[in-house]
Every structure is written in structure tokens, then in C-alpha cells.
Amino acid sequence: MTGYAVFLRDPLLPPRAPLELMARRLGGAAGAEEFLGENPGFLGRHLTLEAAKSLAEAATKAGLQTVLAAEAAVAALPPALKPVKITPAGTGFHAGMPGARNYISYDSVSLITAGAFDSVLPPVTLEPLRKGLLEEVKKLAGMEIPRQTLPAARETFFRAEVIARAAEVRLVLEAENLDYSGLGKERTHSSFLNFRKLLQILSGSSMKALRNPFLEAFLSGKPLARLKLASQQACETDTARLLLLSPRL
């Protein structure tokens, strides 16, 4: 990564807080919305040092405090570990992964982010039926049966990231891929509610951790539509930005 980035200093400002400034800079609200959806909290990426300083000055005049950092620092996320189960245990929690189980103390957690993005699901086809019963019908009728595909569906995916142990450990929690039995009697039949309950426990117990606006809104049941991001990569970009602002515990 080369060049410099300029991003918001306040971690709790919504990702689209600089929309007005960015609309002027990019020539319209549509371009600003797209940029901020892909680069939450950023005002500019891959800039020359002179351009980054100029943008930071413009942001200050607009009432936005910023940080200027090298792109290489923004991109330096620890490798992702994806637990399949989180089990709260006293002053920390166990993160269970295939073949391993790590204990993370709440005091070592420096950053917790949450996010959501919409993505198109793989198209659902009738291919399995076609190869079975419909294949026989085709033979008997002496005709071809065209491949049938249902319209592509979009679904919202929820995720969270936990940074701990002086930013050496990065846990990526994917709501749809977690076993919530670690919640015990507090587990429900809803993965959405289970995910929120799990994050309430982790966030409420990690007193030193920095949090992002989506996490705060998600835990309090506030509307999330304007806090959604463009993709999984955008969620990781949000974490990378906030990692530079978080304490190293």
C-alpha cells in the first residue's frame, strides 16, 4: 500500500458523518455515499502527502477532526481467526475453533467492532430435481427440459471483530456460522438475538475496549440501515481504521 489516508478521529461518529464534505469533494451525494460505504470513516485514500494535508485542513474547517496516516499502517490487520463457538467464562471467554480453544481475558480486549452488509446469495436451481425425477420425464416425453433458476436473493450478513492481546489476536465472528450453546439458558431460537446477546456480554465485560457506531446501535436496538456497509471488505476497513485509534492492551 502506498500513499496516505485521512480518516475521522472520533470512533463513534457514524461512517457517513462526512457526507456533506465528501459530496462537495467528489461532485455529488451518490459518489460520496459509494465511497463512504466502501471506506467507512475515511475522507481520502492513497493520497499524496500534500493532498492528505490539504484534505485534513478542509475537514477541520468543516468541524471534523481527522487523523493522517500511511496506507501501510491502515492495512496492517492481524490474521483473522474464525471461532465457531464463544463461551463466556469468568473474567474472559473461550474462543473455540476446529482443533483449538483459546482463552481471551476481557482486560486484553482493546477493540470490538460490529457491522452488516447485504450480499447476493448463490442462485437456487432445480438441478437436483432435474437429475432425478425430471430426467425421467424428459426421457419419456422425448423433450429437453431447460435449466430453471430462481431469482437471486439478497441477504444481510452480520459480523463482529474482536481485537485482543496487544492487537496480536483478531477474532472474526460471523453470526450465521456460530454455535450459541455457550450462552447456556440465555440462548434463544433466533440467531440474530443470540448474536446480539453474545456481543452484549463481550462488549459489556470488555471495559477498556473501543467500539464502533454499528455495535452501539445494534446493542441498543436502534435502526441500522444507515450504518450498513458495502461489503465484508468494508467492514474490515472499518476495523483497520479503528485499530489505529484503539489502546494496545
pLDDT at 146 over 60: no
- Residue 146 belongs to some domain of the structure: no
Q: Which residue has the cell 441477504?
A: 155
Look at residue 100 in the predicted model and tell me its pLDDT: 86
Domain residue limits at 196: 80-120+152-243
Residue 90's pLDDT band (cuts 50, 70, 90): very high
Q: Are residues 23 and 50 in the same domain?
A: yes
| C-alpha closest to that of 117 among 228, 26, 39 | 228
CB 91 within 8 A of CB 107: yes
pLDDT at 145 over 60: no
* pLDDT, tens only, 92-141: 999 999 888 899 999 999 999 999 999 987 555 555 545 555 455 555 55
Look at residue 152 in the predicted model and tell me its pLDDT: 65
* pLDDT, tens only, 200-237: 999 999 999 999 999 999 999 999 999 999 999 999 99
| C-alpha closest to that of 72 among 1, 154, 129, 13 | 1
Q: Which residue has the cell 489476536?
A: 169
- Residue 222 belongs to some domain of the structure: yes
Q: Are residues 165 and 226 in the same domain?
A: yes
Q: What is the CATH number of the domain that holds 57?
A: 3.30.1390
Last residue of a domain, one of 74, 97, 129: 74
Look at residue 15 in the predicted model and tell me its pLDDT: 87
Can you tell me the mean pLDDT for 134-154? 59
Q: Which residues contact 182 (CB under 8 A, 6 or more apart)?
A: 85, 86, 87, 88, 93, 94, 96, 198
Model-level pTM? 0.86
* pLDDT, tens only, 35-87: 999 999 999 999 999 999 999 999 999 999 999 999 999 988 999 999 999 99
Work out the burial of residue 193: count CB atoms within 10 Å of its CB; fewer than 13 is exposed, 13-18 middle, 19 or more buried. middle
Q: Are residues 87 and 66 in the same domain?
A: no
Look at residue 129 in the predicted model and tell me its pLDDT: 44
- Residue 169 belongs to some domain of the structure: yes
Total structural domains within the chain: 2
Can you tell me the mean pLDDT for 167-187? 96
How many angstroms separate the CA atoms of 207 and 210, rounded?
9
Q: Are residues 59 and 157 in the same domain?
A: no
Look at residue 158 in the predicted model and tell me its pLDDT: 98
- Residue 143 belongs to some domain of the structure: no
Q: Are residues 92 and 198 in the same domain?
A: yes
Q: Are residues 14 and 105 in the same domain?
A: no
Can you tell me the mean pLDDT for 147-168? 84
